[in-house]
């Protein structure tokens, strides 16, 4: 596992992007795909529930994205926390094993993919080059609010009683386990406030985490993270952390990405990763997706080349995007199809 892990942290992403031809493809929406394959994730654990009930579906989704051209697959651990698993009746040991298992499943999917490509058992767009398709496994870490499952991951408001030390204590053991799991990097995703970014940065340094990380923030207005902190100020936290090898935006409307890339580029020379949602808006209190008028049919794939021109290097999709979205992104980056091709999102 983790063939690139021993490289210097600062150079891993640069070298990986070179192997990918300068730009890399991240996978897409995970929960939507699990549901499409029949999973019931109406649970505080969300997609992490499938690590317990249907790990074969997790493998299936990873394979679908690899088949579509993804260079980075993100584990099903976004909402997998020791505290959350224990609340469901599991022991601490069982919870820690499930965190490790999330990474193992991703690696197993990668091996299956490579083996099938080598044997030519799949007939798909990337069959000719797939066996040489560089693939990293990113261990996902969701926010404290994701664990709470009360909508606060979309507001970034945790209350005055939650300090930076509270957040560090909450995340510490999970980060330690994922570091030793064999993952190539840790993806701190959908960060909703500056405080949690600071907690992550402190943990990476204090715990001397040996594998690199990326910090990905979310925004509702193209200027601030949900809590109201400036995206630029949040990015400065990430840029100052030597363990962070890429900085970006996810779970955000496509229409804000262009300006957000410009903002990030003002404060960092590290690679920028963008993986927006489909353009729909999630109602965290009622737990449902709402079409957002003009954006309900928006095809953000048509903007990938513009985002690339503004300085982004890694591109994928978040909520409500599909393997078809990722396949189209891969084709745009490789110049195989017009950027304006239409992609259908899950309804």
Q: For residues 337 and 293, what is the distance between their CA atoms, to the nearest angstrom?
A: 28
Q: Is 319 annotated as a binding residue?
A: yes
Return the structure tokens found at 340.
């304006």
Q: Is 318 annotated as belonging to a binding site?
A: yes
Q: In this structure, what are the phi and psi dihedrals at residue 127, rounded to the nearest 5 degrees?
A: -60, -35
Euclidean distance between CA atoms 224 and 256, whole angstroms: 11
Q: Which of 55, 59, 70 is nearest to 109 (CA)?
A: 59
List the one residue out of 185, 193, 183 whose CA is nearest residue 220: 193
Distance from C-alpha of 282 to C-alpha of 19, rounded to nearest angstrom: 36
- What are the strands, taking DSSP E only, across 91-226? 136-141, 185-191, 213-217
Supply φ then ψ for residue 24, to 5 degrees: -125, 155
Nearest-angstrom CA–CA distance, 192 and 85: 23
Compute the distance between CA of residue 67 and CA of residue 189 in angstroms, rounded to an integer: 23
Q: Is 50 annotated as a binding residue?
A: no
How distant, in Å, are the alpha carbons of 62, 216, 290, 315, 339 from that of 304?
Answer: 22, 18, 24, 8, 7
As annotated, the binding site for Zn(2+) includes 251, 318-319
As annotated, the binding site includes 251, 318-319
């Amino acid at each position: 596992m983790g063939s690139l892990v021993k490289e210097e942290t600062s150079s891993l992403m640069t070298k990986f992007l070179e192997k990918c031809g300068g730009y890399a493809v991240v996978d897409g929406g995970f929960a939507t795909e699990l549901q499409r394959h029949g999973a019931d994730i109406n649970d505080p654990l969300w997609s992490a529930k499938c690590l317990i009930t249907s790990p074969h579906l997790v493998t299936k989704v990873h394979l679908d994205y690899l088949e579509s051209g993804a260079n980075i697959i993100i584990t099903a651990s976004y909402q997998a926390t020791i505290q959350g698993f224990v609340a469901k009746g599991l022991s601490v040991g069982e919870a820690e094993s499930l965190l490790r298992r999330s990474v193992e499943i991703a690696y197993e999917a990668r091996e299956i993919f490579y083996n099938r490509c080598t044997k030519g058992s799949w007939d798909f767009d990337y069959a000719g080059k797939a066996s040489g398709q560089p693939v990293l496994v990113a261990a996902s870490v969701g926010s404290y609010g994701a664990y709470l499952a009360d909508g606060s991951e979309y507001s970034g408001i945790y209350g005055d009683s939650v300090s930076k030390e509270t957040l560090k204590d909450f995340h510490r053991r999970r980060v330690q386990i994922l570091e030793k799991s064999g993952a190539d990097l840790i993806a701190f995703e959908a960060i909703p406030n500056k405080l949690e970014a600071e907690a992550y940065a402190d943990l990476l340094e204090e715990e001397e985490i040996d594998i690199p990380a990326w910090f990905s923030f979310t925004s509702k207005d193209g200027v601030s993270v949900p809590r109201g902190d400036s995206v630029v100020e949040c990015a400065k936290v990430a840029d100052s952390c030597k363990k962070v090898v890429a900085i970006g935006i996810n779970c955000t409307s496509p229409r804000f990405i262009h300006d957000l890339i410009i903002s990030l580029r003002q404060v960092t020379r590290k690679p920028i990763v963008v993986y927006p949602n489909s353009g729909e808006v999630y109602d965290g209190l009622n737990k449902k997706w709402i079409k957002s008028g003009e954006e309900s049919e928006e095809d953000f794939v048509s903007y990938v080349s513009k985002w690339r021109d503004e300085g982004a290097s890694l591109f994928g999709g978040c909520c409500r995007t599909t393997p078809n979205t990722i396949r189209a992104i891969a084709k745009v980056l490789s110049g195989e199809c017009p950027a304006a091709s239409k992609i259908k999102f899950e309804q």
